[in-house]
Each structure stands twice: as C-alpha cells, then as structure tokens.
C-alpha cells in the first residue's frame, strides 16, 4: 500500500525502507515501539508519523496532508480513458483524447503511438508513420513505440501483396505452398483478421519448422510485437506456438 501510494504521488515523496534489526539505535532515537513504523521527513527533520498497519485510505491521507492531493494526473486520466475507448471501438473519442494530450505534451509517447495506431487502423499509413517519426529517438524503443513500428512494417509488407483470392487458390491447389500462406498471413493481419493470420503461420511452423530459416516463427513474433503482449490473440497464438515447438 505504501509503495502504491508513493508511486501515485508522482515524485512528491520518496519511500525509504530501513531494517531496524540492523539499525536498532535509530529505532530507539525515533521512539519506534512497533512495526511497521512510518515517519515523514522534510528537510531532514521528522514531520509526521504513524505506527502499525492502517487502511490504504489512511496512508493516502497521511501523504496528502504532507504534499497535497495525489493520484493520476489529468494527462494520465486522459490516456487511460483513451485506451478504454480503443478497446470499445470508439476510435473517434480516443483520437480526441490523444489530440488533447499532445496539445499539452507534444512528445508524449503513449499519445503519439496511440494516435499512430488509430491512423493505421483507418488505413492512413503515411500519417501513422508521421506519428512514429514524431516520437523522440531515445523513446522509439519503448514497448508502445516498438509496437507501432512493428504494425507499420506489417502494413507496408501487406501493401505489396496481390489479391488474397489468388493466394487462397494457390493454397487450395497446394497446401504446402508456404510462400502463399506467408503472404496470406500478412494480408489477413492487415485486414484485422489476427486469429486467421496466426493460423496460417502456425500451419507453416507445424508442417516445416525450418522453412526459410524459421521465417514463419519470426513473422509470428513480429505479429505479437505489433499486437501487444497482453492481446488475447497474442496469448492464444503463443500457447499454440509453444505446443508445437515443445511437442
């Protein structure tokens, strides 16, 4: 509870832990009679304290009495709500929140990556790429930025493919036409059919793990990066991949 409350204070307070068995003299100086004992210091002097376990609400009141209101900032709240809108498919509302965040923090990675993903989902590849380029270079390896970059790469790959009907015809004529299956997976992913896209790559891995130096698995891992580690399709395909690899 202490760690969470301190994290929510966004740097207004710092949590320092001490093992009183190792420093009994300090515990004696502070009059510590039971643990946990929490002492707030300001400019090196104790300002307030409490001892014993207390409810989380009291921990928060203790901190807020020292430094004022804590909790998520308006920007954090906007980003959290935008993520909810995205999950609900309310992309217009999400875009509005991302835009409002970017007005306050033009280099906010979460907002830039979120807006880029929305552009990508609407088929606007160039604007999605512009959002990624707006992310500071030293932040382009963060999970959110990396996910957007992976999704952009996949969209560019899919844009160079031909008609999916032709790919399906090739697979029907020869189920071991792995090039067609691979291209079909890219096309299906670009169209939002993630489960079917993963199935095509999993089929290649199941039939021939070494095809093109493990190319199907490498591509599937790129899907996972673009979809995000907690996406249901990522989790499902990961389980299937593990079953194939360790069977």
Write out pLDDT tens, residues 66-107.
888 776 667 888 999 999 999 899 999 999 999 999 998 899
Q: Which residue has the higher pLDDT, 228 or 93?
A: 93
User: What's residue 162's pLDDT?
Assistant: 63
pLDDT digits (tens, 9 = 90+) for 174-221: 999 999 999 999 989 888 889 999 999 999 999 998 999 999 999 999
Q: Which residue has the tokens 């939002």?
A: 192
Which region holds residue 51: left if phi is over 0, alpha if psi is between -120 and 50, else beta? beta
Mean pLDDT throughout 158-167?
76
d(CA 20, CA 159): 63
Q: What do you get for the CA distance between the two ends of the chain, in Å?
A: 43
User: What SS3 state is found at 227?
Assistant: helix
Give the start-end residues of each E strand in the chain: 37-42, 45-51
pLDDT class of 16 with cuts at 50, 70, 90: very high
d(CA 90, CA 9): 31
Give the start-end residues of each E strand in 2-144: 37-42, 45-51
pLDDT class of 7 with cuts at 50, 70, 90: confident
Burial grade of 114 (CB within 10 A; 0-12, 13-18, 19 or more): buried
What is the token pair recorded at 100?
């409002």
d(CA 191, CA 163): 12
What is the token pair recorded at 11?
């740097």
User: What's residue 82's pLDDT?
Assistant: 95
User: What's residue 153's pLDDT?
Assistant: 87
d(CA 238, CA 220): 9
Map out the domains of the chain with their CATH numbers.
2-67 (3.40.30.10), 74-142 (1.25.40.10), 164-245 (1.25.40.10)
pLDDT digits (tens, 9 = 90+) for 21-72: 898 898 888 888 888 899 999 988 889 999 888 887 788 889 988 888 776 6
- CA dist 70 → 6, 42, 61, 160, 188 (Å): 9, 17, 9, 50, 45
pTM over 0.75: no
d(CA 154, CA 164): 16
- Counting DSSP H helices and E strands in the chain, the numbers are 13, 2
């Amino acid at each position: 509870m202490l760690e969470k409350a301190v994290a929510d204070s966004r740097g207004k307070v710092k949590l320092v832990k001490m093992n009183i068995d190792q420093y009994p003299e300090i515990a004696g100086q502070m009059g510590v009679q039971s643990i946990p004992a929490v002492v707030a210091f300001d400019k090196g002097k104790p300002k307030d304290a409490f001892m014993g376990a207390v409810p989380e609400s009291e921990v928060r009141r203790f901190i807020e009495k020292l430094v004022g209101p804590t909790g998520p900032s308006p920007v954090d709240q906007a980003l959290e709500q935008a993520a909810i809108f995205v999950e609900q498919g309310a992309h217009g509302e999400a875009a509005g929140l991302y835009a409002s965040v970017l007005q306050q923090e033009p280099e906010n990675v979460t907002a830039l990556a979120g807006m880029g993903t929305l552009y990508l989902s609407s088929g606007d590849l160039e604007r999605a790429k512009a959002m990624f380029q707006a992310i500071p270079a030293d932040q382009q390896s963060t999970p959110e930025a990396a996910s957007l970059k992976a999704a952009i790469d996949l969209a560019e790959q899919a844009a160079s493919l031909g008609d999916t009907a032709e790919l399906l015809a090739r697979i029907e004529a020869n189920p071991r036409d792995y090039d067609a299956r691979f291209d079909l997976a890219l096309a299906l992913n670009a169209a939002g059919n993630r489960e079917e896209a993963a199935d095509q790559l999993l089929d290649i891995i199941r039939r021939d793990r070494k095809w093109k130096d493990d190319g199907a698995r490498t591509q599937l891992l790129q899907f996972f990066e673009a979809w995000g580690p907690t996406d249901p399709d990522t989790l499902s395909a990961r389980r299937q991949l593990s079953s194939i690899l360790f069977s």
